[in-house]
Structure 1
Amino acid sequence: MAGQISMIKRQLKSVQSTQKLTNAMALVATAKLQKQKNKMIENNEYADIYHTFLLAALSAKREGEETNLYLKPSTIDNPAHIIITSNSGLCGSYNQDLLKYVEKHISKDEPIFAIGTYGIKWLKANNYMVIKEYNEWQDLEPAKINQLITDLLILYQNDMLSSIDVIYTQYVNALTFLPTTFHLLPIKISGELIETEMLLEPSREEVLNQLIPMYVSSQIYSTFLQAKTSEHAARRSAMDNANKNADDLINELELTYNQARQAAITQEMNEITAGTVNSK
């Protein structure tokens, strides 16, 4: 009986120590989530301005059929995908949900630009065609995104890729984040553009050739911020669930401990009583 009580006490202390850790991680994740969410919201305004500029440039009058490389459909069939996952775990089903989405929507012979250690390992282990790895990206700095854009556009401009999209986890709210696809190239405009008499210098073609890569860079950054915000939200949710599970386990262990202790006391009292009776 004494051994059982000691074992329960050790288990109780272990769970309490784990709960302190998960509680601290939940607090850190909450702080990071708020910071990342603010950054995402601020960037959305910037991305919207780029989108407005692009629509204005596309509405400028052109002569003849559309010939811009970034706008016309490709003659080949080789879509490329940028896939964004996290560098670490402890974020619930965040990575697993995204990779299930990848498994459902992407062929293994389509080129992939993978961001995030977790996704890189999974994609390579499952024989997907990862042609470029960008691991250990805690933040998407301008130099890093410029390198990614360069890698992508060189292949696209040489007609080696038919399209480019981003597969990431879209942030909806603190409890909802959905794997989704954002199409980058060729540019697709929803609805019909109304052609204007806007004059672009030196020409519509040259302005679009400068503006579209900047727009693509802006959208990749936006999706990265959405993915990181979703990651922190998923990690906070996972740590909150871990805390709740720890509370339930602590209550259960405390009940078991009290029952075992009461049983031990009762046994000792019975032995004392029996000893007293025998001595008489």
Structure 2
Amino acid sequence: MANLKEIRTRISSVQKTKQVTAAMKMVSAAKLKKAQDAIVQIRPYADKLHEILSNLTGSLNPDDNLYGVQRKADKILLIAITSNKGLCGAFNANVIKQINVLTEGIYADQNQKGHVDVLCIGKQANEILKKTHKVIGERNSLYDDLSFENVSALAESIMAEFVEGKYDKVELVYNQFKNAGVQILTTEQFLPVQHEEEENNVQADYIFEPNKEEIVQDLIPKSLKTQFFKAMLDSFASEHGARMTAMHKATDNASDLLQDLNLTYNKARQAAITNEILEIVSGANALAQ
């Protein structure tokens, strides 16, 4: 059994750790509320806009829609959206694992040719994936000011590279926010825009106002930027939800550990007092003789 000093040191250490985890839980809970409100507000708009865009592409000629050109998937760009900070459970590990699954699975041939690039958003993905994959860059600063304007600038550069033919397919890998305790790992095709067939194979007859050219030039890019921004907000809210849950569990574990340590400390202290009493009694008996 450890001595009393060692046990007191451990109790002090666990108490300090508990204070830190409890504080981090409160901070994440406060940030989660704001992030959750943002994703809940934008999700219906982004989903409906994406639905319209997917149906709209079926009414366009391939030459009219630069972002819907279907090419042989030879050059792939995978965008891994993680966080800059850790201590959020399996949040980052799941995204990194999914990138490995894609590069070793459906894109294994392209990866062997060196045609799979990875763009990391967040330090956690960049630090791990740069050791094993062809990482073309990182965008950690996006989290400093997560706004539609900043995300749109990145989306525009990716869309331009697709139009130029640098990439044939672009996919987003991120955690979709469901609630504070549940994050859904999502792999979502960003480019080319996927066309959804109408029910019963009936094509919708759209009336373009003011004209088809303006719709193509304005609505489709706006929808893609909104889709990218929604993925970023999803990941941001999921990060704080995962961290709050992880810190909550860490705080509970610290409380359980403190309870066990206090019990052990009391047992050791009681044993030490008993030994001292026995020594006193034994000495007294020896003097009496």
- 2:120 paired with 1:114: yes
Q: CA deviation at 1:200?
A: 3.5
- CA distance in structure 1 between the aligned counterparts of 2:208 and 2:12, rounded to whole angstroms: 73
Aligned to 2:207: 198
- CA distance in structure 2 between the aligned counterparts of 1:230 and 1:211, rounded to whole angstroms: 28
Aligned to 1:243: 251
Instruction: State how 1:147-162 maps to structure 2 within 5 Å.
Output: 147-162=153-168
Aligned to 2:47: 48
- CA distance in structure 2 between the aligned counterparts of 1:46 and 1:221, rounded to whole angstroms: 12
- CA distance in structure 1 between the aligned counterparts of 2:162 and 2:264, rounded to whole angstroms: 65
C-alpha contact 1:57 1:208 (8 A) present in aligned 2: no
Report which stretch shifted further, 82-91 or 3-12: 3-12
Report which stretch shifted further, 5-14 or 183-192: 183-192
Does the residue aligned with 2:174 lie in a helix, a strand or coil? strand
- Match for residue 87 of structure 1 among 79, 84, 88: 84
Amino acid in structure 2 at the alignment position of 1:165: E
- CA distance in structure 1 between the aligned counterparts of 2:140 and 2:47, rounded to whole angstroms: 28
- CA distance in structure 2 between the aligned counterparts of 1:42 and 1:30, rounded to whole angstroms: 18
Amino acid in structure 2 at the alignment position of 1:41: V
- 2:140 paired with 1:135: yes
TM-score by length of 1: 0.90
Residue identity over aligned pairs, in percent, reads 32
C-alpha contact 2:55 2:195 (8 A) present in aligned 1: no
Report which stretch shifted further, 155-164 or 50-59: 50-59
- CA distance in structure 2 between the aligned counterparts of 1:274 and 1:199, rounded to whole angstroms: 103
Aligned to 1:218: 226
Does the residue aligned with 2:83 lie in a helix, a strand or coil? coil
Q: CA deviation at 1:14?
A: 1.3
Question: CA 1:186–1:8 in 2, change beyond 3 Å: closer, same or farther?
Answer: same
Cα RMSD over matched residues? 2.1
- CA distance in structure 1 between the aligned counterparts of 2:95 and 2:76, rounded to whole angstroms: 18
Q: Where do 5+ consecutive residues of structure 2 fail to align? A: none
Question: CA 1:51–1:180 in 2, change beyond 3 Å: closer, same or farther?
Answer: closer
Q: CA deviation at 1:87?
A: 0.2
- 2:173 paired with 1:167: yes
C-alpha contact 1:80 1:112 (8 A) present in aligned 2: yes
* Higher normalized helix content (fraction of residues): 2
Amino acid in structure 1 at the alignment position of 2:174: Y
